[in-house]
Amino acid sequence: MKPLAQRSSLIRRSGIRTLMELARQTPGCIHLEVGDPDFRTPAHVIEAAHEAARAGFTGYSPTAGLGSLRQALALKLRERNGLEVSPEQILVGPGAVFGIAMGLMATLDPGDEVLLPDPGWPNYEGAAHACGATPVPYPLRRETGYQPDLEVLRRLVSPRTKVLLINTPSNPTGGVFSPETVRALVEFAAEHDLYLLSDEVYEEIVFEGEHVSAGRFDRDGRVIGCFGFSKTYAMTGWRLGYTVASREVTETMVRLAEPFVSCASTVVQKAAEAALSGSQDAVRDMCAAYKARRDAVVDILQPAGLLATVPRGAFYALVDVSALGQDSDALARRLLVEQKVATAPGTTFGAQGAGLLRISLAAEQSRLEEGCRRIVQWVRRQHGRQVA
């Protein structure tokens, strides 16, 4: 039998998913490994889905999404993100991860290079390999608050570099780029004639600073913004995201999307319209809860010297276990077995994640606090064993 496609061998299995599966086999485990909000989807959004199904919105929509939803998204992008775009510049798809994949597929040919954040969400690298492109990591370092260094980026650009991918607020660092940084990154992309793919799925979850969309500084249609409903509205299982780009780029993404998905769920699209037009109180309440959890985590981990940095957005924190001198994947597995606390190993996010574990603030607060206390106690015991 002829061999299967070789590109699949380049795609690493996500350490997040691996630990999640192991954790599911661990009774009584505290789940801090995955960014899945513990809140329920707002009631009016659920009711809108019921109404849509009863009203007959159960067939296909256009590949790019319902016209009514794209109009609502254009309004949202203007009012909340400061982007003057038309509905024709928007592609709705089954999750923000699909939007990221379409953005990369629309801009990358085999052999092209894409600059990816390190640490960064592992799916970026996998999607780049699926396109036949070469991922080139650019380091985000703790001492600079996990902000990108333009001089380092400049040294990484080659004649084959075609895309710069950024993520703010960041998974896994919790970093939030300043407006000046975002502007500088867009200008850097223009200077080197790169497309800039901006993952903004955590746009509403900001504790300090402000989120500014990269598209606000776009002058020539090189920015592709990727957004979603999963984190903002606790709709992870509904699978709906969207991209905004120039008409040319969006038309290309729509052509590429059609062979893979006829369209996103029409019922979910109608629910998304309700999410956008209805009360945003639930969004504000969830963000306030994440901030309270962030503060509780800081209070537990920082005095023990285990907090890599204070997250300013998204809903993750990085735990510094580098003093134990072991691979973070092995440490995550040991922590799961010995303390029944599931975390994501830092190395799944790149080389800069060595010695780190990512925990999610999307867990119920008392469970989150208990998990952090177990981590502190466990690390202290490991130190005791090393001294002995």
Instruction: Report the mean per-residue pLDDT for the chain.
Output: 95
Model confidence at 385: pLDDT above 70: no
Alpha carbons 79 and 326: distance in angstroms, whole number: 48
Q: How sure is the predictor about 57, in pLDDT bands with cuts at 50, 70 and 90?
A: very high
Model confidence at 168: pLDDT above 60: yes
Average pLDDT over residues 103-109: 98
Q: What is the pTM of this model?
A: 0.95
Order of all β-strands in the sheet with 223-228: 90-93, 241-244, 223-228, 195-199, 161-167, 113-118, 134-139
Alpha carbons 51 and 43: distance in angstroms, whole number: 12
Model confidence at 4: pLDDT above 90: no
> What digits encode the pLDDT tens for the residues 248-282?
999 999 999 999 999 999 999 999 999 999 999 99
> What digits encode the pLDDT tens for the residues 294-314?
999 999 999 999 999 999 999
Give me the pLDDT at residue 16, please.
Answer: 87
Alpha carbons 378 and 388: distance in angstroms, whole number: 15
Q: What single DSSP character describes residue 382?
A: H
DSSP SS3 for 17:
helix
Q: How sure is the predictor about 163, in pLDDT bands with cuts at 50, 70 and 90?
A: very high
Topology agreement, domain 6-41+281-387 and domain 43-277: no
Average pLDDT over residues 357-381: 96
> What digits encode the pLDDT tens for the residues 312-353?
999 999 999 999 988 999 999 999 999 999 999 999 999 999
> What digits encode the pLDDT tens for the residues 205-245?
999 999 999 999 999 999 999 999 999 999 999 999 999 99
* Token couple for 357: 């574990």
Alpha carbons 201 and 198: distance in angstroms, whole number: 9
Give me the pLDDT at residue 386, please.
Answer: 54
Give me the pLDDT at residue 387, please.
Answer: 38
Q: How sure is the predictor about 91, in pLDDT bands with cuts at 50, 70 and 90?
A: very high
Q: What are the extents of the domains in the chain?
A: 6-41+281-387, 43-277
Q: How sure is the predictor about 384, in pLDDT bands with cuts at 50, 70 and 90?
A: low
- From the options 3.30.420.40, 3.90.1150.10, 3.80.10.10, 3.40.605.10, give the CATH code of 6-41+281-387: 3.90.1150.10
CB 84 within 8 A of CB 218: no
Average pLDDT over residues 90-100: 98
Average pLDDT over residues 358-363: 97
Give me the pLDDT at residue 6, please.
Answer: 84
* Token couple for 143: 């001492």
Q: How sure is the predictor about 388, in pLDDT bands with cuts at 50, 70 and 90?
A: very low
Architecture per CATH, domain 43-277, reads as: 3-Layer(aba) Sandwich (3.40)
